[in-house]
Chains A and B, each alone.
Chain A
């Protein structure tokens, strides 16, 4: 079983583990080997699972709801370049490739060899019980960089990644269900920092 599968799954119905049917990452521990893992699930009532999948699969859509992302651009050969906001008006670029996918169900991406952050992300789409939309589960694992990787990245990853994952996923839900991301701003001031 891969790292993220371990963190993600409820260990299957046939393999009882310490966490029972709960996702592995909800165990009272934060690290899986060298990796720090964060993850959240939301239920999105509309549109269909396939449409949610398609929106996510076009990675250029992600900055619309992911606060830490400036942009995602196709980088050729099925790769994507993520421009991540870092403290002090800098940004960090990470190139990823699709590690695996199943249409309408699962997308797994992974940073390519030599990236400044060693990271893997997985988003799964499942039918919610009773026809109540789609459960969307995002799990991200990364190795907190050691000193050499740069202070900016270290700071970036200390910006409450758990909270980021939760907020990003909820913005995704709002955008899908309502067509917009609610804000209490009274006017359009500036582009996102």
Chain B
């Protein structure tokens, strides 16, 4: 099969690989019909993720048709499915608590040795996201092997729903939704969102569905801010205004009730600069990062909520711990528990309450995926989301 393959920093190519097969009883093989390039793929592209190796297949947002099933799979050949980027067994303590991204089993034991010392406990396996999260081959390919296929994939019964309408159920839509949920929005609330990338925009859209009175989106790309405005949000360009002052004035001196940091989306958290922070920390050098989060903590009203959608991988210093404690802020965070949200969000898509296709700026055949990476990386204002279509 053909698959987008990592060769080195800023060097991805479409190569030929052996087709995947059923390995474990609960596996299924999916023929990919649509797959997206995620903002976090750019950090793989930039070569800053530890545990990524030349020859690895990328891609963690994908959907397609079931072509083969193991004896323990509940899927049937021919079904259309969207596959969550988090791989979850469905039967461990965490999966039973619906904390799917904390699955205790899906990250193969021999792959856990990098993240375990860093976090205390390793997290779940992810598709196409380095050997730190399991080394699972990704979905920017013609075919993908899906472990625990009885738990993750959501079947799309409605043939009228085209791929583009449901594809983002695999990652960025539930990620944006969980970010808004973690902001614990109440009617009448003002919510500020840092970052008008895919997750920030979907978080803003979700916050509006959850009845936030106002949603204010902060970024510097004019076109991305236009997309936010198109969702009914107010916008702030941080190149042009003092964000903290502007937010305070816009909220009558109170500050937003909830703040969402969707900026440091880098790498679902594993960027090497974060890792370096750890090293710097141990030799006593300061590392000054997480600036959006620090700004958000200061801007948030007293007793407000802080939502951090799966962003950071290492440590940081000069953290405004005092603001967090003294103002009594509540923090919600974590890698997305995708499987918890897919069914509900599919319902909202079918009812026409959520349409995520506004984000898609470019559609390319799989063979042109390297161009997609290059342009998504270098022209962020215009290239807001790339969907790859294998087989076209």
Contact = CB atoms under 8 A, between A and B. Distances in A.
B104 to A, nearest CB: 7
Interface in B1-43: 17-21, 23-26
A132 B148 contact: no
Contacts of A171: 109
A176 to B, nearest CB: 10
A158 B297 CA distance: 49
Nearest to B1: A186
A29 interface: no
B152 to A, nearest CB: 13
Contacts of A163: 113
Interface in A148-182: 163, 166-167, 170-171, 173-174, 177-182
B25 A184 contact: no
A182 B18 contact: no
B134 interface: yes
A: contact size bracket: 20 to 34
Contact of A178 (B20, B89, B108, B131): B89
A183 interface: yes
Interface string B97-111: 000000011111111
A174 B90 CA distance: 11
Contact of B93 (A133, A181, A187): A133
Where chain A touches its partner, the secondary structure class is loop
Q: Interface range on chain B: under 10, 10 to 19, 20 to 34, or 35 or more?
A: 35 or more
Given A171-B109, A174-B109, A183 B104 contact: no
A171 B106 CA distance: 11
A185 interface: yes
A188 interface: yes
B contact patch SS: loop
Interface in B56-112: 72, 87, 89-93, 96, 104-112
Nearest to B145: A186
B122 to A, nearest CB: 10
A91 interface: no
A79 interface: no
B86 to A, nearest CB: 13
A182 B113 CA distance: 15
Contact of A182 (B20, B93, B108): B108
B108 A183 contact: yes
A45 B104 CA distance: 11
B137 interface: yes
A179 B105 contact: no
A184 B130 CA distance: 11
Contact of B108 (A179, A184, A186, A187): A184
A132 B26 CA distance: 24
B18 A187 contact: yes
B137 A186 contact: yes
B334 interface: no
Interface in B103-150: 104-113, 125, 131, 134-137, 145, 147-148
B21 A187 contact: yes
Contacts of A170: 109, 112
A75 B75 CA distance: 44
Given A186-B18, A188-B23, A45 B137 contact: no
Interface of B: 17-21, 23-26, 72, 87, 89-93, 96, 104-113, 125, 131, 134-137, 145, 147-148
Interface of A: 43, 45-46, 132-133, 163, 166-167, 170-171, 173-174, 177-188
